[in-house]
């Protein structure tokens, strides 16, 4: 096969052209992190449930297609769980504070 950028002849299992550094063919697609894994990692901070789902999809994709990104998907999974727990604790803490405040002002007796 030939480099699509500089037309140098290459061996079939080459991933990069030694002349111009161009990534070659199908191998480059298989060696990239699935976008869903990155999306899952980012979403886990903002919308934990969406991040959790995307990270699971990303993890399965990495395993099935033997692509990198398993680590980032796992990180997204863990962060989404941690963020979800923190969100739950913060919401319950806020509700407790609210009820205490309402009790003190005799709105709820
Ligand atoms: Zn080249």
Task: Tell me how far the alpha carbon of residue 28 lies from the centroid of ligand 1, in angstroms.
Answer: 14
Q: Please indicate, yes or no, whether residues 37 and 17 belong to a single structural domain of this protein.
A: no
pLDDT per residue rounded down to tens, the chain (109 residues): 888 889 988 888 888 888 898 887 654 456 789 999 999 999 999 999 999 999 999 999 999 988 899 999 999 999 999 999 999 999 999 999 999 998 888 766 5
Task: Tell me how far the alpha carbon of residue 3 lies from the centroid of ligand 1, in angstroms.
Answer: 5
Return residues with CB closer than 5 A to ligand 1 (ion). Answer: 3, 5-6, 17, 19-20, 22
Cα–Cα dist 72/42, whole Å: 10
Q: Please indicate, yes or no, whether residues 58 and 77 belong to a single structural domain of this protein.
A: yes
Q: Please indicate, yes or no, whether residues 80 and 97 belong to a single structural domain of this protein.
A: yes
**pTM for the whole structure:** 0.61
- 97 assigned to some structural domain: yes
Task: Tell me how far the alpha carbon of residue 22 lies from the centroid of ligand 1, in angstroms.
Answer: 5
- 109 assigned to some structural domain: no
pLDDT at res. 36: 95
Cα–Cα dist 37/15, whole Å: 23
Calculate the CA 23 to chain-centre distance: 24
pLDDT at res. 39: 97
Task: Tell me how far the alpha carbon of residue 13 lies from the centroid of ligand 1, in angstroms.
Answer: 14
């Amino acid at each position: 096969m030939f480099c699509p950028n500089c037309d140098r002849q290459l061996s079939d299992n080459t991933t990069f052209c030694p002349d111009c550094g161009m990534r070659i063919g199908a191998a480059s697609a298989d060696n990239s992190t699935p976008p869903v894994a990155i999306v899952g990692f980012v979403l886990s901070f903002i919308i934990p449930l969406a991040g959790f789902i995307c990270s699971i999809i990303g993890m399965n994709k990495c395993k099935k297609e033997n692509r990198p990104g398993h680590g980032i998907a796992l990180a997204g999974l863990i962060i989404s769980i941690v963020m979800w727990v923190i969100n739950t604790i913060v919401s319950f803490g806020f509700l407790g504070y609210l009820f205490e405040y309402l009790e003190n002002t005799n709105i709820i007796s």
